[in-house]
Structure 1
């Protein structure tokens, strides 16, 4: 038994850190991180008492019926009203240490308090421009989320259970193969496909235009979120520009999470349209039926893999780490695999064009097939939570909308269509895209109150969910992982041992310096630990897929024209035919 107790009795299996499967571990020999009160910046609570934070903490403790945190709140109330700093720094820590550190509940209480300190206080509708990351446009925040949904999905997990990697089933393949788009294909998942069009075409749904008149001539005055009459809704469906839906408005897609916010659902829609256009191109070559579908699917997957490796990763990950992984791109000696996922001791020189597909993976290795490491899924690849803004401007016709309004599953309003030069650098567009937020441990205020259909734990604080999940999966501390990776001491954060997710965000804030944003400090890329984990796993997932372009045709390049110097996410959107600029965006 771990210090977290036993797992779900219905799915008993031996506890083993050497398990290889859909989920596993990169650092199997590192001990689990144990939270201590040294993680808490007590000055945060003292300075925020006037803002009602103490009442918030008390309400929090009542909601979760957490006796340990209730005791802590009482002591905070007593001691923080005293102006004696020495008392706060000594007596409080002593009491809290005795009350909390020796129990799971206490350690989780510490993480809950840490989570509260990570959420910025302020207006949910406002953003602090000083926290902008101009090096990464906001669209890549949601492309990263789209990738997450492609490779990880556990609809049965809950923070209210104790989870081990060998007790969590991943309902996604550990490959970048867009199974969240294709499902099992037209024969296995026919509900995703349009039977009235060419075989293999994905379904597209209809927009809601709430400004048009109903068929009886009466203008619809109801609020959009009050539209629940199927017959009334049918009168408002005007154009094929939404996800396909059933009669109750639920999206017919491979992953329901891709319908949870207005931006993400339109990115998924763009990939649907991209597939359909690629399929048209294949059909024009005389290929038909299931063969045409498979050829279009292959091309779409390869373009997707390409932009992840050549567009997204260079924006997020340290160039030094990428150079080490792709040493062969410079024509250097490389290490050839003697079997998939295991490195050989033999080095053989080949020119870069012949060896482009062989990455050097030092820490992400597998036996029979790739797996999703929990250090990646539950920590490193959750960097995107720090990039989320409080509000976004969807298009030139609409005012800025708060994140809380954009988190909406259901029919897409016609006037909420995304104009993509608001989110990406679009060639020849004068529009400057909205920036993502800097990569650091300060999350936007909206993330303290996020509710969604996939959140079954009653915890709306995103930081709290991430920290608790990492703790219950026995993730090591960030410093322990940094040492295991051989990171130089000067690039390892000092201070108390941090949970891995919190450490990765914190090191990004200090060491995440982008080459094109020099002189601006950190927060523009992932730091050493985050870069290494994200880069090795993403590259490894492509390399470990025998059907990826790296293995089938390593010299392949996207055949479609690019708007800029290289093929990027903007080019997929452009070919899909979604609105890139205000000239293409028709106001309702």
Structure 2
């Protein structure tokens, strides 16, 4: 599989705004608690009532967490600082940009997260009743990517992939396969199929993926940009944050546990807190919908707990952090990128709430993608720019023969639909679907 690279750019365009105190202040105002982006969820309500509210999104609840898992597989940038400009070409991405599950495997065995008695198998932790990520004696996750323990749902998803890998090993061994590379390839190719045919297919406008499948791999830029690079475009790192708008303020994760996503005063669903009742009933989450993609972010995300922000730096509002990251990477505006790709640009009237901040005609990309989805599709999917940007930058690795399955490959593992494979199929083979 690949090795860590630098980041790159997809567009040779000027940043959406100058790095200036008034711009920082505007972004902080947009992303503050009780500000324009805050959904103002009533966190005095019983979390069960919030969890039962209709989601309204076209994707299931799992989609938002799977998107975070995929994002963690593509990008890890622990050194750049919010609102401090950095050169992506000189910044190391500690993940590979090839959708190869290096967030799970690292460099492969032997390593701490592989079973010393059988190095082909990954260690799966237990919290007493159901599977968990492996943990040190103090409860700290031993997963290769610590962020996959930010919430109970992410740690359960990571644990499902550990069990899925082990299932694949046992299945292939039974047919005489003894190569770890073959085990990992089988897992990765099914994971990539899910990304292309389930995750992206449910997020982007119809036909977008079909028009994008011939793109080159990461680092070669989007068509017509002429901007080479060596790794993941920083525009994709920003765009993937749209999933924060899909999150609900509370979830029923099983018939014994319903809680806020994060809460300073009540039991919540943060990671790192294993217990016999802290497991995910995936059927419950697959049967509920995410929130629609729009200019509205659930209230718990405006006050991240320390566990979800291990650096401990300010601000603690996730939307503020998302917006300030545009200054770090000097990201072009949504309008400029849409114009470069020949995509209709939102009218200034569609962004009128930004006029007091001077950002209605040159809008931070993340905010623009949320607004575009809300205006064009009522939040059912990403809009035309979000769809094309996400599909083209993510499908590049899936079209590269050195990192992905051949174009004519079809899933080989048992599934509910022949020649297809979904997250529900993965959960079933991992043994985490039926409780």
Q: TM-score range, shorter-chain basis?
A: 0.7 to 0.9
What residue in structure 1 maps to residue 14 of structure 2? 31
Partner of 2:282: 420
Residue matched to 1:182: 105
Closer/same/farther in 2, CA of residues 245 and 111 from structure 1, 3 Å limit: same
Q: 1:147 aligns with which of 70, 84, 95?
A: 70
Whether 2:372 is the aligned partner of 1:507: answer yes
CA 1:140–1:534 in structure 2 vs 1: closer, same or farther (change >3 Å)? same
Partners of 1:129 and 1:416 lie apart in 2 by 19
- Residue 532 of structure 1 and its aligned partner are, at CA, apart by 0.8
C-alpha distance 267-340 of structure 1, shift in aligned 2 (>3 A):
closer
Residue 163 of structure 1: how far off its partner (Å): 2.4
Q: Does 1:118 align with 2:102?
A: no
Secondary structure, counterpart of 1:185 in structure 2:
coil
**2:298 maps to what in 1?**
444
Tell me what 1:69 maps to: none
User: Residues 458 and 540 from structure 1, CA distance in 2 versus in 1: closer, same or farther, beyond 3 angstroms?
Assistant: same
The TM-score normalised by the length of structure 1 is 0.65
Name 1:372's counterpart in structure 2: 232
1:28-86 superposed Cα distances (whole Å, 9 cap, x missing partner): 1x211128xxxxxxxxxxxxxxxxxxxxxxxxxxxxxxxxxxxxxxxxxxxxxxxxxxx
Partner of 1:356: none
1:22 and 2:6 correspond = yes
CA shift at 1:193, angstroms?
0.5
Residues 249 and 298, structure 2, Cα contact 8 Å, conserved in 1: yes
- C-alpha displacement of 1:488: 3.0
Q: Deviations over 1:455-484 (max 9, x none)?
A: 532211111111111123211111111111
Q: Equivalent of 2:336, from 480, 484, 500?
A: 480
Of residues 216, 228, 246, the one that matches 1:387 is 246
Q: Is 2:411 the partner of 1:555?
A: no
Tell me how far apart the structure 2 counterparts of residues 277 and 202 of structure 1 sit (CA, whole Å): 10
SS in 2 for 1:136: coil
Residue segments in structure 1 that go unaligned for 5+ positions in a row = 1-20, 36-102, 208-237, 327-334, 344-360, 425-432, 513-521
- What does the per-residue CA deviation read over 1:102-124, in whole Å, with 9 as the maximum and x for residues that have no partner? x7112110111122311122323
Q: Are 1:195 and 2:116 counterparts?
A: yes
| Pair 1:375–1:336, CA change in 2 (3 A) | closer
- 1:118-157 CA-to-partner distances (Å, cap 9, x unmatched) read 1122323464988723420110100000000001001222
In the TM superposition, residue 257 of structure 1 has moved relative to its aligned partner by: 0.4
Equivalent in the alignment of 2:22: 106
Relative to 1, partners in 2 of residues 1:130 and 1:392: Cα closer, same or farther, differing over 3 Å? closer
Paired with 1:421 and 1:178, the residues of 2 have a C-alpha distance of: 24
Q: Which residue of 2 aligns with 1:572?
A: 426
CA distance in 2: counterparts of 1:286 and 1:142, whole angstroms: 35
Partner of residue 435 from structure 1, selected from 262, 271, 289: 289
The residue number in structure 2 matching 1:260 is 150
CA distance in 2, matches of 1:390, 1:299: 36
Specify which of 174, 188, 192 is matched with residue 301 of structure 1.
Answer: 188
Aligned to 2:356: none
Bigger radius of gyration: 1
Aligned to 2:126: 206
3-state SS of the aligned residue for 2:126? strand
Q: Please give the per-residue CA displacement for 1:226-271, whole angstroms capped at 9, x wherever unaligned.
A: xxxxxxxxxxxx3561111112211111100001110010000000
CA distance in structure 2 between the partners assigned to 1:488 and 1:175 by the alignment: 30
1:163 to 86, 89, 104: 86
Aligned length: 409
